Amino acid sequence: MARYFLEVSYDGSLFGGFQIQANQQTIQGEIEKALETIFRVPLALTGASRTDAGVHGLQNFFHFDTDLQIESKHIYNMNALLPKSIVVKNIYAVPADAHARFDAIKRAYLYKIHTQKNPFLEGRSWFYPFAVNMELMQEATKSLLTYTHFETFSKKSTQVNTFECHITKAFWEMTEEGYTFHIESNRFLRGMIRGLVGTLLQVGRGQISLEKWHEIVLSNNEQLADFSTPAHGLYLSLIDYPPFLKKIV
């Protein structure tokens, strides 16, 4: 039996999340329906990284196993069946033990904020019309590279064995519309990016000091973090794998 990776991209606005769940339209559910329509048999997908309801994915992956002949034409076939807000970008043939979730070596997210009301960004960026001190926010953000324990920024309704994350990049970028938060790590915790963004904005608005910021990070108390940032500004932007992910069907 052969294993394949599906590379997908999606607008999460209309979906109840990435992973299949009862009574919800999800990214996984729509793709599994398309696969079953094409191949006449159910094919179970395993996702690389779950995103919550409303979160977007510039790049995400599934893997699945099958003895069926998978060809490049099936990319077109799937996209013809999928909603306009989901696209299959590539199919990769991979080793039989390759795992979409556990073999990922790096993940990246970005969070978009616009500062002027713009109907064309609604649902794809957070309208945040408040003045912030970008220099203070950048300084606090830079400190994330010196920490590895992020229990403060993990929602408690999750089951993980460790709160350790190794962040390799984190910064704010000024854009034409406002600013964007970028972050890369080997892994992330549930709610982590939205908690970081919300709390960093408190630094930028002078609601908490840099000293208080460090206290919050070290507190391991999620009640001190601000998770109120909406889902629609968040994008999973990259998942990186070892070189085995090379062969496109």
Catalytic site positions: 52
Q: From CA 6, how far away is CA 70, in angstroms rounded? A: 11
Q: From CA 196, how far away is CA 211, in angstroms rounded? A: 16
Locate tokens 């060809």: which residue? 71
Identify each DSSP E strand in 115-166 by its residue range.
126-127
Give the CA distances from residue 173 to residues 2, 141, 217, in Å, rounded to whole numbers and listed in that order: 42, 12, 22
Q: From CA 233, how far away is CA 55, in angstroms rounded? A: 7
Q: Write out the H or E segment, with its range, that includes residue 6.
A: strand 2-10
Helix, strand or coil, per DSSP, at residue 201: helix
